[in-house]
């Protein structure tokens, strides 16, 4: 009976302590919030700009983040990486990539980050993206943020430990133009809509 009681207590201690031990080892340091802003009362054909940002006390060496938008309601016009963000990455010996156009047919903007030595951290606006609302639109649409990889991987380790993150999606609400009010579609000198040149913004270490 005494032996059974000892075994029972030992097992109970293991199950009591295991969750706290696992919680300490399960995630990398800190946490982050990744967001994209919203816009209201957008008319068909109107252009507007949203800003993607990251904040928190996180420490990461690798990140892969996707921003998804509905190609039936929005088309991308242009994208610009934020200088403070890219400078912070490159000055720490890292590499940042923001892809605006390659996956435009799928409605995706991709952000990738890789640090060679020091972990990356801080509150930054990552990029601005300008969209044009299409003519056939719903009452609203979302730009959703998906964190595919967000990891802590210091020198000497072979796998990245996931750092906790949460997201704030953006929402665009539309409004019908007033009678007789039309928003002209921008055209180039030849009378055709300009097409953004496919490209990737890559920031390399300095």
Position 189 scores a pLDDT of 43
pLDDT band at 176 (very low <50, low <70, confident <90, very high): confident
* pLDDT of 54 above 80: yes
The yes-or-no verdict on residue 204 having pLDDT over 80 is no
Q: What is the mean pLDDT of residues 140-154?
A: 96
Q: What is the pLDDT of residue 14?
A: 36
158-177 average pLDDT score: 93
**Res 4: pLDDT:** 46
pLDDT category at 182 given cuts 50, 70, 90 is low
Q: Encode pLDDT of 86-117 as tens digits.
A: 999 999 899 999 999 999 999 999 999 999 88
Secondary structure string (H, E, C) spanning the chain: CHHHHHHHHHHHHHHHHHHHHHHHHHCCCCEEEEEECCEEEECCCCEEEEEEEEEECCCECEEEEEEECCCCCEEEEEEEECHHHHHHHHHCCEEEEEECCCCHHHCEEEEEEEECCCCECCCEEEEEEEEEECCCCCCEEEEEEEEEEEEECCCCCCCCEECEEEEECEEEEECCCCCCCCCCCCCCCCCCCCCCCCCEEEECCC
**29-54 average pLDDT score:** 97
Tens-digit pLDDT profile for residues 10-30: 433 333 444 433 344 578 999
The pLDDT of 34-57, averaged and rounded, is 97
pLDDT at 184 > cutoff 80:
no
CB 196 within 8 A of CB 131: no
> pTM of the prediction?
0.75
In a 10 Å sphere around its CB, with 0-12 CB exposed, 13-18 middle and 19+ buried, how is residue 162 labelled? Answer: middle
């Amino acid at each position: 009976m005494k032996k059974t009681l000892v075994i029972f207590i030992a097992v109970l201690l293991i199950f009591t302590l295991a969750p706290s031990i696992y919680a300490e080892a399960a995630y990398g340091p800190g946490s982050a919030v990744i967001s994209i802003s919203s816009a209201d009362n957008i008319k068909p054909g109107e252009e507007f700009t949203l800003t993607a940002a990251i904040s928190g006390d996180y420490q990461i060496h690798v990140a892969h983040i996707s921003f998804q938008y509905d190609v039936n309601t929005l088309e991308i016009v242009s994208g610009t990486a934020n200088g403070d963000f890219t400078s912070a990455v490159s000055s720490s010996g890292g590499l940042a990539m923001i892809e605006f156009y390659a996956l435009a047919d799928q409605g995706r903007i991709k952000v990738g980050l890789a640090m060679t030595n020091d972990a990356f951290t801080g509150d930054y606006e990552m990029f601005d993206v300008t969209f044009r609302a299409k003519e056939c639109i719903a009452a609203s649409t979302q730009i959703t943020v998906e964190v595919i990889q967000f990891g802590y991987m210091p020198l000497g380790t072979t796998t990245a430990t996931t750092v906790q993150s949460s997201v704030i999606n953006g929402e665009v609400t539309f409004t019908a133009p007033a009678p007789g009010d039309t928003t002209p579609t921008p055209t180039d000198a030849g009378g055709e809509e300009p097409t953004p040149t496919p490209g990737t913004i890559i920031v390399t270490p300095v």
